Structures are given as structure tokens and as C-alpha cells.
Structure 1
Amino acid sequence: MRKASLSKLLLAMMLLLFLVLAACNNGSDDSAEGGDGGSDEGTEEGAEEGEDSGDPIDDFNQVKENAGEPIDGGTLNYGLLSSTVFEGVLNYNFYSISSDADVIQFFDESLLSYDENWEYTQDGAATFEVSDDDKTFTFTIRDEVNWHDGEPVTAEDWLFSYEIIGHPDYTGIRYDASFRNIEGMDEYHSGDADTISGIEVIDDKTLEITYKEAWPSLLAGGIWTYAMPKHIFEDMPMDEIEESPEVRENPIGMGPFIVESVVPGESVTFTANEDYWKGAPKLDGLTLKTVSPETAVQAIESGEVDIVDFPRDQYAEAVDSLTNVEVLANYDNAYTYIGFKLGQWDADEGQVEMDPDAKMADVDLRRAMWYAVDNEAVAENFFDGLSWPATTLIDPTKPNYHNEEIETPTFDQDMANQILDEAGYEDVDGDGMRETPDGEELVINFASMEGGDTAEPIVNYYIQSWEQVGLNVEMLEGRLHEANAFYDRVEEDDPDIDIYQGVWGTGSDVDPSGLYGPEAPFNYPRYQSEENDRLIAEGNSEESFDLEHRQAVYDEWQELMVEDIPVFPTLYRLSLEAVNERVTDYSVIIGWTDWHEVGVMQEDPVLP
């Protein structure tokens, strides 16, 4: 990491003051959303053994060092780090907040596995073959894969997931370009066909899917790999599924643990699935409970939980006392960002609709706001080197595509002032705040969510930074918002929100269409342009099976996002997990899903 300039050190003092003033408030830059890969930040090729590379991940393991042999059975306590209750939509086809996915992972799973390079393997619950033209995939589900009620997982169950998501009355947010690329899906989604012509059940365990176009992304996260038990949901009205007891209270899956009971939003008790296709779990059971960022250190240190995501903003202060745990880390395939509301979602058309009169429609205003903030100071002073300034919207966990050489706005308030002056934003009435080029009052409403101790001081820092260049930015309703309510309002295009701070988990696929495509419900800025459409299509064209061609396309796309700025990224980060010393065979390596192998070496947690 580069050392801060004098101006940054002054900002650091201001940031620390905010920490003191807001010590009793909630907040963090973490959302309820969240990798492997590599960041070139601070590293050098060929560093000598023992030499500090400057890469923060060098201080951590990715696989838990076993302190002993696991006992037969035992129960593990898992802490779900969240400042709020989990929403409780416990089905892959319908959930939208990642805390729900954290619950689902224990009782259900993908039919396909993937490796550290995010590519599908043949080691999952299903295997696959691809046609010579790369358009037809044939999947075979293993015979030993069963639902928790003993029914076999079938090709009909996998097809049923596609029929649910593609249904005209589907209430979730999964229907996007990857589904529309399936032959016959458009006709099914519009109600003009009763079946999806491009998906065929060959036999009980074999499914064939034919796509209109061969996309490179299909082999790296571009396939919907989650089945849904048709025998449970097939007679249920579409508008009742998401709120049904079969989703909220007693869901079933094919994973290593079975849901025994749910305390809505607070905890879930699981028992071992002795019929799990990979083999019976070592543990007798597992209990998941929500843990707030404010109490996470106490919860892991006291043995209340055995595993918990560790708040990065508390690590430096707590690390010396954590004698009974090991902290693992990996690069998080995520970035924090500032988003600008540029339009609305047209539900009838299933696409974004930009508003030329939106308050944030002027790209010069957005660019000036990017220049005005010092994300290096935020990273250094709030996260102790465990986060670092983000540059582009393809994060470093995609090393083949993340281009660190693309020039992006960095902290320069003189440049921010110059841009605003030239764009006509002037202080007309002498109150120190700029008006619009038309001379109208400009008040920008900024929404952000609760989390750990740092969220409110970070929001206050951004607001003060923008105030220093004459922009009147106010925290929406004068407070941070509970995470579920925050994302509901952002998703529903609440007209009171002009800008917002969010976190995107970028997943396994470098293709940005799911977040920034014109037909993506997750396109929360509601951004669209012809050049964006062209590059997204080109990135998934047959020509892009050539790595160099696809790299060039995504270089252009990253540059376009710096030019158009529907959002700007603020921080990349490490993901930390604290694990009690009694836990064995646990890993944070990307693609690891072997919860059935996790054990404990004694009944009670190891204490300090």
C-alpha cells in the first residue's frame, strides 16, 4: 500500500474523529451480500522467500489447521454475521439477500460443482457433456442424489426450476439474459407456450438444455444449477410459493443437513442427512444463529459460536486476544460501491428505463462526486489494510479480466470543483452549497444500511467530502436503514433515493449482464446505453471463446463504466472467518462445499 499524502493524513484524523463520535452507532460498509482469485495490489513478481509482498492475504491461511482428530458426532454452532434478521426466503429460486443463501447452503446445493477458477467440474451432484457447437448441454444427475424426504432428485425437478423462474407470474428476481438465451424461453415467459422447447427431459436423471447462442459464460456460472422438488410445489399457486411454509418454515433440499426447526429471522437447527450423496456428515447437527457485528468478537471468543464472518473493522483491535480461534481469509469476490439512481424498472417490459430528468442524470455531477472522496483513507483508517481502493467493476478475483491499468478517478477535490464549475453547478445564493445549472436547489438524498461500527462514520465522511466541494448530500431520513428494508427500497426505485451505498457479490461469472444489463432486475442504477448493450453481447459472443478477444471486450466495458459512471466502486476487500480451534477440516477456498467433512475434536468449544 502506498503511504498517505499529507492531505490524506489530515483526512485520516477527521475519519478517526468520526469513529469516536459514532462509537455507539451501528454500521459497516458490509451489506447482506459477498472469493478466490488474486489482487495485484501491492505485490511484486518473484518476491524472495520471507520477503513481505505487501499482499494482505499473506498473513492468513485458507484452510483450517486441525488441532486434533474429530470426535464421532458433535454439534457445531455457526454464526451468521448480520445487523438484522435474515429474511427467511429459504429457496434458491426466490431468495434475494445473501444471508438467506448462507442458511440455504447447509441443506441444499448446486447440482454442479466449480473449481478455484470458477469453472464447472464433473465432481458435483450432476455431470455434463457439451455439444460440438457449445449450444446444447446434457446433464446427468447421480443416482444417489435424493431429497431429504427420500424422493430422488430428478431431471423433472431441475426442469421445474426453469419453469418456475421463467413463468409469467414468477415473483422472484432471477429471470435475466441467461434464461432468455434458452430456446423457447421467451415464448414460455410471455405465455405463448406451455412448455420450454429448449429444455428436454431425456429420462429420470438426464436433462438437456439448448441455448440460442453459445456463450463462454455458460461454463463459468452461466447455468442455473438448482433443482426444486416438483412433488412439493407443483400444485401450489405461483403467488403463494415464496411465503409458503415449504419455503419459510420446513424447506427441504439435497444437502448434507436437514432443517429441523426455524426461528424466523434468528436461528435454524439442522440435523445430519445420513443419506447425503457424498457421505454422511461427521457432525450430528449444526445450529445457525444470527450474530450482530457489534458482538461478533465476543461471540467467537466466548465459544458461543464456532465459526463467524469476522468484521474487518474490528480485526486489528481484537487479533491479539483471539487465542482460541484461527482467522482464515480469502479475497472477497465483491466490491462496495456508490450507486446513482438514473431511472426505473419497467416491470411490464422487463427492462430498465432511464430517466433523462433524473437528479443524477448528469455524468459530470457523478464524476465530480467520485473525485471528491478518498477511498484510500477509508480503507487504511477503517479496515487496517484488509480493504483497499476499488477501481473497476470487474474485481481482482477475476484475474484474467480485472484491468488495474485502467485510469479511474482518484481523490482530487480540486478536480471535482473544476468539473462542477465547468458543468454550471454554482453557489447562486451564497450559502456555500451549489445549485443546479438551472439555478434550482440541489439536495442529494443518500441511502445506506446498518452494519457494524463503521457504517455511519463512513457515510458521514462521504457526506462531508461532498460538502467540501459544495454539494449538499443528506443521509436519507437522517439515519441508516435496516438491510432488508434498504434493499427493498433500492429495488423498488424509491423516488426519495438519489444515491446509495451498496455491496455487490460478483459471483463466479465475469459477465456483467446480471448486474448492469438492460433486462437485469439487479441493475439497481437503472442504467442502459447502446454501447453497454453492445459490449455485454460481445463479451458473450462466440468470438469471445477466444480469451484475448474477451479480455479486450471487458477492458472496453470497464473503461465505459468509468466514462458513464452508473456507479463507482469504492473498496475491494478480504473476507475473514474466525474458526474455533475445535473445528476440523474447514476451508474458505473458493468452490469448497464439503460441509459433510467438517467435524469437531471435542464436545465443548476451546476457550481462551
Structure 2
Amino acid sequence: MKRKRLFLPLILALMVMLAACTSGGGNGNGGNDPAPSEGENSPAPTESAKPPEDDGLYSIEDFSNVKKNEGEPIEGGSLTFGLVSDTPFEGTLNFNFYSGDPDSQVLGWFDEGLLTWDKNYVYTNDGAATYEVSEDGRTFTFTIRDNVNWHDGKPVTAEDWLFAHEVIGDPKYDGPRYDSNFTNIVGMTEYHEGKADTISGIEVLNEKQLKITYVQSTPSLLTGGVWSYPLAKHIFGNMPVDKISSSPEVREKPIGFGPFKVESIVPGESVVYSKNTDYWRGEPALDEVVLKVINPTTVIQQLESGSVDLVDSFPVDQYPDNADMSNVEFLGNIDRAYTYIGFKLGKWDAEAGKVAPDPNAKMGDVNLRKAMWHAVDNDQVGKRFYHGLRWNATTLIPPSHPEYHDASNPGLAYDPELAKKILDEAGYKLNGDYRTKPDGSELVIHFISMTGGDIAEPLARYYVQSWQAIGLNVQLEMVEFNTFYDRVGANGEDDPKVDVYQGAWGVGIDVDPAGLYGRDAIYNFPRYASEEQDKLLAAGISAEAFDVKKRQDIYKQWQQLMVEEIPVFPTLYRAVLAPVNKRVLNYAIGDGTGIYLHQLAVSQDKPFVAEK
């Protein structure tokens, strides 16, 4: 799924989607990101939960994603946003370089893409730029609105948009964005390989107009396939490409063209924003927004006391005990995310810019991977720990994309006896408590998961115990968010001590999964590739895929292929809950609501405090 939410702890949870903390019209990041895992934002479940339904379960269908306005907005005011994390945000504060959800949430308040999209994830002409498409669907002409300016007053130009493409296509680029979306631009491959000094398929027509010609017209171009994040050339134009991401202009004093601008940063801990009076949609209603990192274990206290007005993601296992919190309204939506178990099947070939599967990988036997999926009961995990607000995941296209999610595909059912039988028949024989490899040698599986709230380690240990119950010697290591992503390969270096990992993806607005599982995707952490997948991914963005029914069939086949091949298996789909202080006005989560951050307001100076 194009460009990356690294949802998302298990991994978005790899980052909660930016769309959940921004408005619905596409102000934020539409791509795939590593998310925090399930445990990151979730304290331990309580036995005292008393859900209203007879079965003890809640449904996301009972929540609204748009807040009710209570009272009239005051002039100005300040609001505090809680970024829920047990680790500091990494601090790569530019859309062209960041790689994790926490950073995307910091970015979402002061920067945005030039294009917005509707509730069906299709680009509209309501954003900071409009577009026209040629009859053959290959050439897009973009026009940036005249009143779209960087926070330093300089206009956002077509040169800035071209410059972003040049930086991402540069061989020395050290971010995660260069993928099939970019190689589909005419001349990009030649530029990336140093065979051309310019990208022939991109033409600056004038200060505000840019024309991009793509190699292939694909349905993805209208749903996330266009890179819409410019890079200020007047700031970064003379900087070496491999120095940009670590520069003070990215880390300490970033600028964008969004509704608020950065006033100060305490690295990894907090950001103070002031309103951008020159914002192209109109002057923001609020004078100030304060973002602060709050630990998952203190979310309830912070909300009850009014120390934060809203948070990026609420630990849903805590909802039953706090559903009646008097000073907030709970919003809910199906999250564009899923958690999963991933198997390391190769490494990243940095020189070639693609995955290099290892035929001798420890986890290379699909029978071993199949048994590990059959051994875990994700249905009960969702019900017992999350009261139905996380539920058993079956395929790698989540129900946030209902047109393409194959609800008829059951995945692999919980069946530990079948798991044992599969291992027996594949030659993994028990020798004492644990099984050996088919050749009789010792089998030790190294599994990493993310730290987070109180539930993070117990949940990871549940998976370990489930695998031990079928005779597999799995050794657990808990790792904090940023280190976790380095070790699974977000920086292009795969830790050989990692065999299996528990992650999560916040997925993009485009259904195309190539950005997560394609050969040239650095986010393809399993390092999986196959000719059959290559064919299906190519078909999914081919001319025939403009027929929605044909594209649905293609991705139905892809979902089944991944159930059969199992480079990863999904564990839980998720609802996102967002408690919002009752003084907050004009706020929504999800896409296509038509409510934007500059409209955010408050009805009184101080937050409401919960009644005891």
C-alpha cells in the first residue's frame, strides 16, 4: 500500500495513522508507515471491565468519527495534543525523509501534501494544488495555488516540487521513499543511476505549474501514487543530499506550509506551534498548539486532569473502565492499520536497491511459518484484551479499504494440533521439549517485539508460549521503537540475530501493497519476493486494473498468495479511539470529513476536568 504509515508496542500500532490526528480531507500523510505495536499504547487489561453488551464486546460501528460541537468558539486559545509513546519521537521532521508514525504526527500539525483526497481515497482538486490528467492517463499537470507559501514567506513553487523528486531519486538519498512510485516517472531510473542529469519526465512550466509524465498509467496514480510533498529548495538546494535528513533545518527548525508553524522543540519530547496567519485555507482559529509525548501508562490521568485535550490513540483495552469519562467525547474509526508477525527471509541489497531473498534462511520453510500462524489464537486476543475493538486479522489488506479487503478469506485458523502435525510431517522432530530442524540440528528462533505499555511484553510472551506449546524454542527480546525498526531493516541493514518480529503497519490511502512488499520496497522487512507476486503487483497497477472488478480480483489473488506463502501473517485489525476534551470544536478523525486543522477551536480557555 503506497507510501508508508513505519501504523504505527507490536509495530503504527509500525505508527497511528496521521489521518487519525489530522483532519479528514487528506491534510496528512497518505502512505504506509511503521506503526507502534499493539502493546505500545496499551496498559494491561483489567478484570473489572463491564461492557454493556451481553457478550462483553464493543463495536466500532457504535462510534462517530466527528466530534459534536458544544458551545461557541472563543477567539484564539491554546490546545494540547498528547503523542502517546514510551519513547521519544525520532525527530526527522520532513515528509521526504521521516520513517515512523511519531514523526508523522509531529509533522501533521505544520506541514502537509499539496494534494488532498476524499473518503474513497481519490485525489480531489480541493488541496493546495489542483491537477489535470491527459487523455492517456500518463501526464499530470499540477497547479499550485498562488497563496500557498512556506512559513518563512517564500512561495511554494514547482521548483520545490521538482526538487523533492530530485532528492528522493538521488543515489545518496538516505530516506525510505524511493520505490515503484518514483521509478514509474519517465527518466527517473536514468537519473537515479547517474545516466542523466535531469529527470526527463518532470517539467517546470512556470513558478506554480509542474508537469509529470509517468511510464505507465495506473489506477494508483489517483490514489496515492503521486508524490505531493515539496522540499524547500531555497533552504536545502545547496546542501549535500546525504546531509539533509540530519540537518538542523530538519531536526531543530523545520518549516512547512501547514496551518501551524514550529516555534520551539524539545527534542523527542515536545513541540510548541503558533498559528500560521498566512495559511492558504485561512487563518487558524487557535493561537497555539502544544504537542507533548505522554507515556501510555499516564494517558487516563492526563485526560482526566485536562493536561491534554486529545491524544493520537487511546489504549482500547482501557475503554470499558473509562467509557464514561465525563470531560471527553470518544471518537472512533476503523484504523488504516494492522499488526502482524513477520519472518526474516533475506536481506536488503542496498547496491541493487531491492530485497535479496536467502534460500537458506532459517524461517525459509513455509511449513514452519504456517505452523506458527496456526498456533496463535488472535480471535481470543482481540476479545479478551481489546473487548472487540481489535479483532482477528485474516489478510494483508485491512477492512479500512472495503472495496479490496477480501472478507471471504479466512486466513489460517487457530489449530495447534494441526500446527504440530504440519511440523511433524515437515521433519521438525521433538527432542525433549523442543523440535530440531529436519536435518537434526538445533532450532532456536530469535523473536523481537516492541516495548510499550504494560501489555506489550505479556502479549509478546503469549505468542512465545503459543509457539513453545507446539515445540518451538522461541527466544523473546523486547526492544524500544526506534531501535526495533533499525534492527528489522528500516535503515537498510538487517540484524542477523532477528528471525521473527512482531510489527504493525499503518497503510496508505492507495491499496497497492508494493510499497510494503514489492522487491524495491525497503519497508519489505521480511525481504520476500516471488515471481507470482511480481506478476500480481504489476497487474494491480496495469491498464486492466482501471476496471475496479478486475483490480478487486487481482488483489483477492494477492491476498490468497500471501496466505499461502506467509512472509508475514496478520494478527489484528483495529479500531482507533480518540478521546477529545469537550471544549474542543471542529475536530474529526479519518478521511473525507471536510474538517481541517485550521478550523480547530475551543469553547473556553481551560480544558474541562473529569468529575470524580
- Normalised to the residue count of structure 1, the TM-score between the two structures is 0.91
Separation of aligned partners in 2, 1:198 and 1:33: 34
**What does 1:293-442 align with in structure 2 at a 5 Å threshold?**
293-308=296-311, 309-320=313-324, 322-428=325-431, 431-442=432-443
Gaps of 5+ in 2: 1-8, 25-52
- 2:409 and 2:604 map into 1 onto residues whose CA distance is 51
Match runs of 1:81-230 below 5 Å = 81-230=84-233
Q: Quote the Cα distance in structure 1 between the aligned partners of 2:14 and 2:404.
A: 25
Q: Which of 273, 278, 288 matches 2:281?
A: 278
CA contact (8 A) 1:303 1:605 kept: yes
How big is each residue's C-alpha offset from its partner over 1:33-81, in whole Å with a ceiling of 9 and x where there is no partner? 53799xxxxxxxxxxxx999x8712221211111101100000000011
Q: What secondary structure, in the 3-state scheme, does the structure 2 residue paired with 1:333 have?
A: strand
- Does the alignment pair 1:586 with 2:587? yes
Match in the other structure for 1:560: 561
AA at the equivalent of 1:489? R
**Residue aligned with 2:203, SS:** strand
Name the SS for the 1:225 alignment partner: coil
User: C-alpha distance in 2, partners of 1:541/1:216?
Assistant: 8
Please state whether the residue corresponding to 2:323 is helix, strand or coil: helix
For residues 107 and 407 of structure 1, what CA distance do their matches in structure 2 show?
41
Contact residue 327 and residue 576 of structure 1 kept, 8 A: yes
| Number of the residue aligned with 2:265 | 262
Deviations 1:104-161 (A, max 9, x none): 1111101000011111001000000001000000000000100111111100000010
The amino acid that maps onto 1:482 is E
Determine if the alignment matches structure 1 residue 484 to structure 2 residue 482: yes
Per the alignment, residue 44 of structure 1 pairs with: none
SS at match of 1:332: strand
Displacement after TM superposition at 1:589 (Å): 2.9
Shift of 1:406: 1.6
Report the CA distance between 1:28 and its aligned residue: 5.9
Cα deviation for residue 407 of structure 1 reads 3.5
What is aligned with 2:503?
Answer: 502
Question: d(CA) in 1 for partners of 2:146 and 2:407?
Answer: 46
2:15: which partner in 1?
32
- Distance of 1:496 and 1:405 partners within structure 2: 37
Deviation at 1:264, TM superposition (A): 0.2
Checking the alignment, whether the CA contact within 8 Å between 1:28 and 1:456 is kept in structure 2 is no
**8 Å contact kept, 1:359–1:498:** yes
Letter in 2 for 1:164: V
Q: Distance in 1 between matches of 2:592 and 2:530?
A: 34
**2:163 match: secondary structure:** helix
8 Å contact from structure 1 (residues 28, 454) kept in 2:
no
Q: Is the 8 A contact 1:446 1:475 kept in 2?
A: yes
> Does structure 2 retain, via aligned residues, the 8 Å contact 1:341–1:498?
yes
Instruction: Tell me which amino acid in the other structure corresponds to 1:149.
Output: D
Secondary structure of 2:435's counterpart equals coil
Letter in 2 for 1:32: M
SS of the counterpart of 2:142? strand
Contact 1:379–1:387 (8 Å) recurs in 2: yes
1:603 aligns with 2:586: no
CA contact (8 A) 2:58 2:388 kept: no
Paired letter, 2:110: F
8 Å contact 1:67–1:582 — kept in the other structure?
Answer: yes
Q: Indicate conservation of the 8 Å contact 2:15/2:506, yes or no.
A: no
Amino acid at match of 1:436: K
- 1:167, 1:31 → 2: CA distance? 26
- Residue 243, structure 1, aligned to residue 243, structure 2: no
User: Compared with structure 1, are the counterparts of its residues 586 and 51 closer, same or farther at alpha carbon in structure 2 (3 Å cutoff)?
Assistant: farther
Question: Equivalent residues in 2 for 1:536-551 (5 A)?
Answer: 536-551=537-552
> What one-letter code is carried by the residue in structure 2 that aligns with 1:196?
I
CA deviations over 1:428-473 (Å, ceiling 9, x no partner): 3xx2210000001111011000122211111111111111110111
Counterpart amino acid of 1:215?
A: T
Deviation at 1:239, TM superposition (A): 1.8
Partner of 2:28: none
CA-atom RMSD, angstroms? Answer: 1.6
Query: Residue 458 of structure 2: SS of its match in structure 1?
Result: helix
1:92 alignment partner, SS class = coil
Q: For residues 228-273 of structure 1, what are the alpha-carbon distances to aligned partners after superposition, in whole Å with 9 as ceiling and x for unaligned? A: 1100000011121111110001111100001000000000000000
Distance in 2 between residues matched to 1:32 and 1:64, nearest whole Å? 23
- CA–CA separation in structure 2 for the residues paired with 1:337 and 1:267: 30
SS in 1 for 2:434: coil
Residue identity matched to 1:306: D
Letter in 2 for 1:190: E
Give runs of ≥4 in structure 1 deviating > 6 Å: none
Cα distance in 2 for residues equivalent to 1:224 and 1:451? 32
Partner of 2:37: none
d(CA) in 1 for partners of 2:90 and 2:600? 26
Distance 2:281 2:272 in 1: 21
Distance in 1, matches of 2:174 and 2:211, equals 26
- Where 1:313 maps in the other structure, the secondary structure is helix
Contact 2:58–2:387 at 8 Å: present in 1 too? Answer: no
Deviation of 1:317 after TM superposition, in Å, equals 2.0
Letter in 1 for 2:480: E
Q: Secondary structure at the match of 2:146?
A: coil
Letter in 1 for 2:462: Y
Task: Supply the AA of the counterpart residue of 1:500.
Answer: Y
CA contact (8 A) 2:526 2:568 kept: yes
**TM-score with structure 2 setting the length:** 0.90
Q: Matched residues in 1 for 2:14 and 2:525: separation?
A: 15
CA distance in 2, matches of 1:374, 1:112: 41
Deviation at 1:318, TM superposition (A): 2.1
Distance 1:111 1:591 in 2: 16
User: Tell me, what secondary structure is at the counterpart of 2:450?
Assistant: coil
Give the Cα separation in 1 of the matches to 2:460 and 2:288.
40
Aligned to 2:5: none
Residues 28 and 191 (structure 1), Cα distance of their counterparts in 2 relative to 1, 3 Å cut = closer
State the one-letter code of the partner of 2:273.
Answer: F
CA distance in 2, matches of 1:407, 1:583: 41
Structure 1 letter corresponding to 2:519: P
- Per-residue deviation, 1:175: 0.2
Q: Please list the CA deviations of residues 366-388 of structure 1 after superposition, one character each: whole Å capped at 9, or x if unmatched.
A: 00000000001110111111100
Q: Which moved more, 1:206-215 or 1:404-413?
A: 404-413
CA distance in 2, matches of 1:31, 1:208: 34
